[in-house]
Amino acid sequence: MKEELKVAAVFIGTIIGAGLASGQEILQFFSRFGRGSFIGILICFILYILLSFIFINMAYKKRFNSYNDLVDYCLGKKLGFIADWIITIFIFFSNTIMISGGGAMLNEYIGIDKRYGIFIMAIVSFLVALFSTNGVIAINSIIVPLSTFIVLILGFFVFEENSINITLPLFNNENVYGSAIIYACFNFMTAIGVLYPMAREVKSRESFVKGCILGSIVLTLLGLIINYNILTYYPASFNSEIPNLYVAKNHGPLLPLYLTVIIWLEMFTTEVGCLYSLSKRMQNVLNKSYFYCLLTILLISIPFSFIGFSNLIKMFYPPFGLISMLILLIGVIKYVILRK
């Protein structure tokens, strides 16, 4: 059971990030569809389970060590080479987004100059990522239970004191199903970058799959709670940069403080996961030391982090979701064909 919990913690920590903890991802991909958004989150849960079963089994069978092994297998060497570098760029900017967001949070809630906040985020992430897989597992094992607990507490207060806003339509005139698929593929492809290198250290395939399933259950529960919170406080929550924090401000002075800390820590865990994934990728390509790759990526990331948190999210998340969906779809087709 110990290995399952480790895998689940890393799976949750890589996906949950600042976007989910803040409520911004849930708002953009689900809540804007009204009450039908709950169906979208459940679709996402089913996809997490199916994709975990297929692609973790594939990793052990084909002995994949990184996400570029999967891309080459699905698209071939030529297209795989192009797609691999596109994905690497997206993960690089995800890493940059978290550094930028971490600096912005420290600036907004503690008053630290954003430049210093960015450097603090970068240095602390570097020190934890130095411990490679053990660092990723250790930090997620601490932060994931804490963030889950805070979101559950907030959900309890909202549920006890309010009922969902019944003025919301069941569906808006947009495609909640397509949004759910893109969101699931985007998140799972990001997680693969961290999970595949772990496959060499977690010997049991069954434990790995169970860990991903456990992580999927927790992520779905958190998504449903955050979505409920946002819809309950519609329309004001829809206009907030951090919807979950807006909700928390309606429930005393302590919850907003705790949630602010949690959002920063979730940015931190995602940043560590991205750094680890990119450094392993660079290590395989350049045959350099892990330390050299880690330091190089961080030094390149810092200047980009000044572009801005929200601008980077809008630019890079949706197209990465579409590319991830294409790669995973081809992988599923190959998996089904080879099993016949």
Cβ contacts of 134 within 8 Å, gap of 6 or more? none
The whole-angstrom distance between residue 188's C-alpha and the CA centroid of its chain comes to 8
185 or 90: which leads in pLDDT: 185
Q: Both tokens of residue 157? A: 């207060």
Kindly give the interhelix angle for 290-304 and 114-129, rounded to the nearest 10 degrees: 160
Residue showing tokens 């994934």: 277
- Identify the band that residue 1 occupies on the pLDDT scale cut at 50, 70 and 90: low
How confident is the model at residue 221, as a pLDDT? 92
How confident is the model at residue 42, as a pLDDT? 95
How confident is the model at residue 104, as a pLDDT? 74
* CATH class given for the domain over 2-339: mainly alpha
- Report DSSP letters for 130-191, one per residue: TTHHHHHHHHHHHHHHHHHHHHHHHHHHHHHH----TTS-S--SS-HHHHHHHHHHHHHHHH
Task: Classify residue 81 by burial, with Cβ atoms within 10 Å: 0-12, 13-18, 19+.
Answer: middle
Q: How far is it, in rounded angstroms, from Cα 102 to Cα 319?
A: 23
- Long-range pairs for 113-118: beta carbons < 8 A, 24 or more residues apart: 115/306, 118/302, 118/305, 118/306
Look at residue 187 and tell me whether its pLDDT is greater than 60. yes
pLDDT digits (tens, 9 = 90+) for 294-339: 899 999 988 888 776 656 666 777 788 888 888 888 888 888 877 6
pLDDT digits (tens, 9 = 90+) for 87-133: 778 778 888 888 887 787 777 667 788 788 888 888 888 888 887 56
How confident is the model at residue 50, as a pLDDT? 92
pLDDT digits (tens, 9 = 90+) for 138-179: 766 777 788 788 888 888 888 877 666 656 665 565 688 888
Using left for φ > 0, alpha for ψ between -120 and 50, and beta otherwise, residue 242 falls in beta
How confident is the model at residue 163, as a pLDDT? 66
How confident is the model at residue 159, as a pLDDT? 82
pLDDT digits (tens, 9 = 90+) for 70-86: 888 888 888 888 877 87
8 Å CB contact between 251 and 86:
no
Angle at 224 between CA 223 and CA 229, to 5 degrees: 95
Domain residues of the chain, as ranges? 2-339
Q: Which of helix, strand or coil describes residue 119?
A: helix
How confident is the model at residue 43, as a pLDDT? 94
pLDDT digits (tens, 9 = 90+) for 250-298: 887 888 888 888 888 778 877 887 888 788 878 878 888 888 888 999 9
Q: Which of helix, strand or coil describes residue 111?
A: coil
Quote the longest CA-to-CA distance of the chain: 60
How confident is the model at residue 48, as a pLDDT? 93
Cβ contacts of 86 within 8 Å, gap of 6 or more? 323
Look at residue 340 and tell me whether its pLDDT is greater than 80. no
Counted residue by residue, the chain has a size of: 340
How confident is the model at residue 250, as a pLDDT? 84
141 or 211: which leads in pLDDT: 211
Q: How far is it, in rounded angstroms, from Cα 139 to Cα 161?
A: 34
91 or 134: which leads in pLDDT: 91
How confident is the model at residue 339, as a pLDDT? 67
How confident is the model at residue 167, as a pLDDT? 60
Average pLDDT over residues 186-200: 80
8 Å CB contact between 317 and 29:
no
- Report DSSP letters for 276-332, one per residue: HHHHHHHHHHH---HHHHHHHHHHHHHHHGGG-HHHHHHHHHHHHHHHHHHHHHHHH
- Identify the band that residue 38 occupies on the pLDDT scale cut at 50, 70 and 90: very high
pTM, two decimals, is 0.80
